[in-house]
Amino acid sequence: MGHEQRITAIEVQEKRGNRRSIFINGKFALGVDENVIADLHLKVGQMISEDELQRVVRAELVTKARERALLLLDYRARSRAEISERLMRAGFEADIIEELLKRLENAGLINDEQFSRAWVNHRLTGKGMGKTRIRWELKRKGVSNEAAEEALSAVDEETEHQSALELARRRWASTASVEEPVRRRRLIAYLQRQGYDWGVISTILNELNTEVEPE
């Protein structure tokens, strides 16, 4: 490629209609998404420096990262750290990932506070999990302690109690053939695994005892 660089053609790719082939000085230079052409206002006859060409390359990488991120978000909401980790595993450089994450945040497509609230609600009401386990899950997903605690603080004691009680009743009923001391130990261990602290568990055990009619 000579010192003077001019875009001599921008052609639609045969097999991928949303892709464009850019030719510089009559030779194929690179393929990019159609949005890159529009965003950077590229046109035939335009002179393009090496720095400008690198901006085109960067814009294409950000677009590819965005496509992958949107596929992940189509499946379910994700934390900022989850998206970052998946893109890093896909081979994107840190600066490309960071630029994309800022764009997604500005567009409201990722928001760790909203994600945390939705996760807490889903795991508590949908899966019957307690705060301890939910807190651990949010930490694994890279959510900040502040965002996690803010979301968990919205859960009142009665809501957590009812969730644990429903879970305990189902578990208790499913182990009716087991001797009571063993049955009790298993229920305690199960509720602990589900993320309930001893304060909640002991209250649930007392409540179950009052529900069980003497033989």
Does residue 140 contact residue 112 with C-beta atoms inside 8 Å?
no
- List, for residues 96-110, the tens digit of each pLDDT value: 999 999 999 999 999
- List, for residues 7-34, the tens digit of each pLDDT value: 999 999 988 888 999 999 999 999 999 9
- pLDDT of 192 reads 95
> What is the arithmetic mean of pLDDT over 32-43?
94
Give this prediction's pTM: 0.80
Over 50: is that where the pLDDT of 209 sits? yes
- pLDDT of 215 reads 47
- List, for residues 127-185, the tens digit of each pLDDT value: 899 999 999 999 999 999 999 999 999 998 899 999 999 999 999 988 888 888 899 99
H-helix segments, the chain: 34-39, 50-75, 80-89, 94-106, 112-121, 131-140, 145-153, 157-174, 180-193, 198-211
Q: Closest Cα to residue 7, out of 58, 36, 61, 67?
A: 36
